């Protein structure tokens, strides 16, 4: 550019050929761009203060608008997502739903009785209860989302007996007790929660029958007819079963059906490609189900979306993790995992398809607990919101999040969401 300017300045002057006439463009005095700009500014000087004020107002208004969004999001969000939204890069949000969310189909398309309003009212009541929990650091156990879900379902159904398979330190026992103060509980767990008391906080319930330690019996081996008679339960439809034992959920469903139980909650309903056991979310992930089925093609849109989301969410699964030998994607890389992944039997798609059909044949109601709040509010960084239901408190509603008392809780308690599910089942026709 400098060379061009210097060349223009060194150009030979145009000489008169003697007749005083010629091309006007060659004889008129040339004005440089800088000179023209200076002359223009001089002529329009009186209007520039108003234009400058207008530009300042636009900038301030724009900043104020985005700052409002920042208050709702950045003040209550985790780093990358809040920054992306504030600067207008909302690509991650548009991915939500593009990966699909498989939903198990019930026989008669029935749904739960409770509504979002009921869940919000429940949250307002449960937060102060949760703050009194005896086990503050429940690492490897339930966080806030599932604690609330279990408490809410138990309180809504009001069962005559509650049974849990898998108790760990006793947090879930405590949650059930808060929901139903006088209802007996049966806890089935290999190690008695009192053993954990020697090392730190744990919970042992006085109105609980423990099948634990030397008295441990697996859920599928319990003589349930004898147990029901002992507790004077005449209708197994009045019993709530809670599974947090990391066992094949299809196996547990068949065992529960055999015993006549109808109301089941599974804590770790792992998404396809994740987890250490076969889950209903995995079983119902079928091409014929809306939001189900996957492609192992590495250049597909799904592969690109998964690759992008893997950078932001710890538990997001890319194509390499989703697909196994022969492009098997069901379960975990074509495996029907069981017993904390100590067993990982490979199954065919045909078997996987039949498992889904069996679930549908006994399923009256299927309801996945939504996340309590959006990730920008809870700061959660693990589960991918594109593979979950819409949260009860959606992103941007920080005022509601605060009014419910959720902002008082440590952010770590929101990182354990794994699509907990409530099932109401009946016998296969």
Structure confidence at residue 76 (pLDDT): 32
Q: What angle do CA 419, 423, 428 make, to 5 degrees?
A: 135
Q: Residue 332's beta-bridge partner residues?
A: 335
Q: What are phi and psi of 32, to 5 degrees?
A: -70, 155
For residue range 37-74, what is the model confidence (pLDDT) as tens digits? 445 554 555 565 655 666 666 555 554 444 333 333 33
Structure confidence at residue 213 (pLDDT): 93
For residue range 159-177, what is the model confidence (pLDDT) as tens digits? 999 999 999 999 999 999 9
pLDDT at position 210 over 70: yes
For residue range 258-311, what is the model confidence (pLDDT) as tens digits? 999 999 999 999 999 999 999 999 999 999 998 899 999 999 999 999 999 999
For residue range 112-144, what is the model confidence (pLDDT) as tens digits? 999 999 999 999 999 999 999 999 988 888 999
Structure confidence at residue 55 (pLDDT): 62
Its pTM surpasses 0.85: no
Q: Cβ(388)–Cβ(239) under 8 Å?
A: no
Structure confidence at residue 139 (pLDDT): 82
Cβ-proximal residues to 321 (8 Å cutoff; 6+ apart), any chain:
273, 333
- DSSP character string of 119-133: HHHHHHHHHHHHTT-
Please, what is the angle between helix 144-157 and helix 171-179, to 10°? Answer: 40
For residue range 381-426, what is the model confidence (pLDDT) as tens digits? 999 999 999 999 999 999 999 999 999 999 999 988 999 999 999 9
């Amino acid at each position: 550019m400098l060379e061009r300017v210097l060349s223009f300045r060194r150009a030979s002057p145009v000489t008169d050929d003697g007749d005083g006439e010629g091309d006007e463009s060659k004889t008129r005095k040339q004005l440089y761009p800088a000179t023209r700009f200076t002359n223009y500014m001089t002529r329009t000087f009186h209007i520039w203060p108003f234009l400058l004020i207008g530009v300042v107002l636009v900038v301030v208004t724009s900043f104020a608008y985005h700052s409002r969004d920042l208050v709702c999001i950045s003040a209550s969000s985790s780093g990358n997502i809040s920054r992306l939204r504030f600067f207008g890069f909302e690509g991650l949000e548009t991915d939500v739903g593009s990966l699909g969310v498989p939903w198990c189909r019930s026989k008669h398309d029935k749904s739960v009785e409770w509504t979002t309003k009921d869940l919000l009212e429940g949250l307002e009541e449960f937060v102060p209860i949760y703050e009194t929990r005896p086990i503050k650091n429940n690492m490897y156990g339930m966080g806030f989302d599932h604690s609330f879900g279990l408490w809410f379902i138990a309180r809504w159904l009001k069962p005559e007996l509650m049974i849990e398979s898998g108790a760990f330190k006793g947090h879930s026992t405590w949650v059930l007790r808060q929901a139903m103060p006088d209802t007996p509980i049966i806890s089935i767990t290999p190690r008695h929660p009192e053993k954990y008391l020697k090392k730190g906080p744990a919970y042992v319930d006085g109105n609980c029958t423990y099948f634990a330690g030397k008295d441990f019996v697996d859920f599928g081996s319990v003589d349930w007819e004898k147990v029901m008679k002992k507790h004077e339960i005449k209708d197994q439809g009045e019993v709530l079963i809670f599974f947090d034992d990391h066992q094949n959920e299809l196996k547990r469903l068949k065992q529960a059906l055999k015993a006549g139980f109808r109301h089941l909650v599974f804590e770790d309903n792992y998404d396809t490609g994740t987890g250490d056991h076969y889950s209903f979310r995995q079983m119902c992930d079928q091409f014929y189900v809306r939001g189900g089925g996957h492609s192992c093609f590495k250049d597909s849109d799904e592969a690109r979306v998964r690759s992008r989301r893997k950078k932001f969410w710890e538990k997001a699964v890319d194509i390499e993790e989703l697909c196994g030998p022969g492009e098997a994607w069901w379960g975990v890389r074509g495996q029907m995992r069981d017993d904390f992944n100590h067993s990982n039997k490979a199954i065919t798609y045909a078997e996987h398809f039949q498992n889904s059909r069996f679930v549908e044949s006994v399923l009256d109601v299927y309801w996945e607990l939504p996340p309590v709040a959006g990730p920008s509010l809870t700061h959660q960084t693990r589960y991918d919101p594109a593979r979950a239901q819409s949260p009860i408190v959606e992103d941007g509603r920080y005022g509601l999040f605060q009014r419910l008392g959720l902002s008082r809780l440590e952010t770590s308690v929101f990182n354990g969401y794994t699509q907990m599910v409530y099932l109401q089942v009946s016998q296969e026709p």
